[in-house]
Amino acid sequence: TAMLFGTIIFAAVGLAARTWLAGDPRAIHAAFDPFAKPLDASSYTSMYTLLHHLSVFGVILLFAYICENHPPYAHSDKSYDRDEFFFLTALLFVVSAYTVHRNDGGKGKLQNSPRKEKDEDSKKRPLKVASVNPANEVLNRDQTEEWKGWMQFMFLLYHYYHAEETYNSIRIMITCYVWMTGFGNFSFFYLKGDYSLVRVLQMLWRLNFLVIFLCLSQGTTYILYYICPLHTYFFFMVYFTMRIGKHLNYTRYGFRFKLAIVALIIYFLWD
């Protein structure tokens, strides 16, 4: 890992120096653009941007390694203070209150999904599944993202303070988080009907890329970051449930039958 990111950082610094000395810093400015653009292997600017961000990622991993294995200050024992813990929790609600805003009151643009496709599957499912108003739908993207943010804050607070008395609550939050992963993927497959390999690889990359590099750089095991294998498993469960017999997803009883089969599998597998 050190050789990999060391080579990347060396290349990025070399290209940055070449760009600066050439008097054309456009590539450097583009690397600091907060809006990501698709990679273009034939573009010098695009490749430099990729190397720049990989270099930053490598520095973050190095910092994590130093803090974990060669800390400048000795690690201290965790000390739980109930008053401080719940004060910070209450503070989260106070700060969150300042982000409350009205939705569009039902005036948003309705979206019909899934869209018409050219393949033969489009003949087997309706062109219009539901009229979607992103602002007013129950568990819309904004709601679920905020819910996830609250729980991530509690996860960090729980581990930072080692708040054992909140253990059961944290387990419930983890269950909710896993459920939302399944719900989000179900919604995507139901509305978009995209079961391509690209989609699968995108999800696996999002769920596991940081953990893989942490395992390589810190010498830890994959199962230590149990939440990522858990999300990965349930992504595959939702994917295969929706992918197998996908023409049944839009029938009255077909999808209920598939859910019943999955429920039986889960029951016999764990209970």
Query: How much is the average pLDDT of 233-250?
Result: 91
pLDDT band at 126 (very low <50, low <70, confident <90, very high): very low
Q: What pLDDT is recorded for position 71? A: 86
pLDDT band at 112 (very low <50, low <70, confident <90, very high): very low
Check whether 116 has a pLDDT greater than 60. Answer: no
Contact 234, 186 (CB under 8 A): no
Helix%, strand%, coil% for the chain, nearest 5: 70, 0, 30
Check whether 86 has a pLDDT greater than 80. Answer: yes
Query: How much is the average pLDDT of 112-135?
Result: 49
Q: What pLDDT is recorded for position 169? A: 92
In angstroms, the Cα distances linking 195 to 116, 156, 190, 245, 262 are 15, 34, 10, 12, 19
pLDDT in tens, 20-30: 877 777 777 88
The single-letter DSSP state of residue 104 is -
pLDDT band at 133 (very low <50, low <70, confident <90, very high): low
Contact 124, 247 (CB under 8 A): yes
d(CA 83, CA 49): 46
